[in-house]
Structures are given as C-alpha cells and as structure tokens.
C-alpha cells in the first residue's frame, strides 16, 4: 500500500483512485481510522460544499484522526479547503469550522466580471521552491472547479488567477493541498501526484 484515499462520503473516489492506478501505485480507499493512521501517505479528496463535508467527517469519526496525522497528507479541491480553520461557504449559518490543520480561512473567490464558479483549465504560477513542484513550471495548466478559495499566504507554493489571485498549491510541514484536480490535470497533475509519493514524512 503506497497511499490511502480517505472515503469522505463527498468525493469522486473513482477518478482519484484511477489516477494512482495509472501511476502503477497501490492504493486503498477507506474510512477506517486504523488504516488511515497506518498509511505512508494520505489523500483527502472532496467535492461539494464544506458544511456537508465536515458533517460527513464528523459522522465517520475522522476529524481527530486527520488532525493528528504526521505522514504526508494531500487535500484535493474541497479537501484542501477543509484543511484550514474556517470557510465562508456556510456564511448564511455562520462560517464553517474546518479541520484547522493550517491556519487561515477559505473565502468566496472574487471573480470580478468572470464566471463563477471558476471551472476549466488555468495556469499555475510557482511562488516557492518545493519538492512537490519538481518538474512543474509557471505556465503549466491545471483543471479547476470551485467557487471558494484560499487567499495567498506564506503557505502558498503556487498560485492561479480568476478575477483575483488565489492559492493553487499549498504546504505547511507535512500537509499539502491542491485547489485543482490533479487527477484531471493531465501530465501536470500526474507529476504532482508522483512528487507527493516521493516527499519525505
């Protein structure tokens, strides 16, 4: 087993799993805490809305499990947003509390005159030197689908822009995140997943 994909109850697990199949990687999809804790690397995928996603994580008793992981962890799309302290996505009922594994908040993406959600291919701009970005250059394309985003911060490895700039790839210690879908981002996404499999814990 090279990687565990967390069954969050709100993710396209098949497409994420297939991305690792294409890399020839042994993967396990599970919601079992014991398996997740023993994994060499963990993927936290997610699609949909933050309030529902956090509810599913609580129902599956995965919040504490995820918060205490010390191995490399990568959040994908909504999964990346859940790594942060709060999200504006539940603003009608108040901000949604996230996992708090990275300090910062998720905000409604200011798209200006551009369509929302931000959907489709967009370019990456590298802002830091990190092993996760090996072989990735500014101008490489990734596939996005989102309405909320993480502002640029000291944890931003690469940014993108759709009306305003936002964090496309982040890292804090052993915690990584991609706002885009690497499993749908062709060679760029495959290289990032390959790099994640090589990073040290």
Q: Is 104 helix (H, G, I), strand (E, B) or coil?
A: strand
Q: Exposed, middle or buried: residue 67 (CB in 10 Å: 0-12, 13-18, 19+)?
A: exposed
Give how far the C-alpha of residue 108 lies from the chain's centroid of Cα atoms, to the nearest Å: 17
Q: Does residue 141 carry a catalytic annotation? A: no
CA 175/CA 101 separation, integer angstroms: 8
Q: Does residue 181 carry a catalytic annotation? A: yes
Set 97, 161, 183, 194: catalytic member: 183
Place of tokens 């599913």: 56
CA 105/CA 94 separation, integer angstroms: 13
Query: Please, which residues have CB within 8 angstroms of residue 24's CB and are 6 or more apart in sequence?
Result: none
Closest by CA to 196, choosing from 130, 126, 152, is: 130
Set 10, 77, 162, 178: catalytic member: 77
CA 131/CA 83 separation, integer angstroms: 20
Q: Does residue 118 carry a catalytic annotation? A: no
Residues designated catalytic = 77, 181, 183
């Amino acid at each position: 087993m090279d990687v565990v994909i967390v069954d969050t109850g709100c993710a396209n697990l098949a497409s994420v799993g297939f991305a690792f199949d294409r890399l020839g990687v042994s993967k396990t999809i599970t919601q079992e805490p014991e398996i997740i804790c023993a994994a060499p690397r963990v993927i936290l995928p997610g699609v949909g809305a933050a309030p529902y996603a956090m509810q599913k994580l609580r129902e599956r008793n995965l919040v504490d499990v995820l918060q205490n992981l010390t191995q490399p962890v990568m959040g994908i799309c909504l999964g990346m947003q859940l790594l942060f302290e709060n999200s504006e996505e539940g603003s009608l009922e108040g901000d949604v509390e996230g996992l708090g594994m990275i300090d910062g908040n998720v905000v409604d993406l200011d798209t200006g005159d551009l369509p929302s959600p931000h959907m489709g291919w967009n370019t990456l701009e590298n802002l830091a030197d990190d092993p996760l970005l090996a072989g990735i250059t500014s101008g490489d394309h990734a596939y996005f689908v989102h309405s909320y985003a993480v502002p640029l911060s000291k944890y931003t490895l690469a940014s993108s822009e759709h009306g305003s700039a936002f964090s496309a790839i982040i890292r804090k210690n052993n915690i990584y995140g991609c706002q885009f879908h690497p499993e749908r981002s062709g060679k760029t996404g495959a290289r990032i997943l390959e790099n994640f499999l090589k990073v040290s814990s």
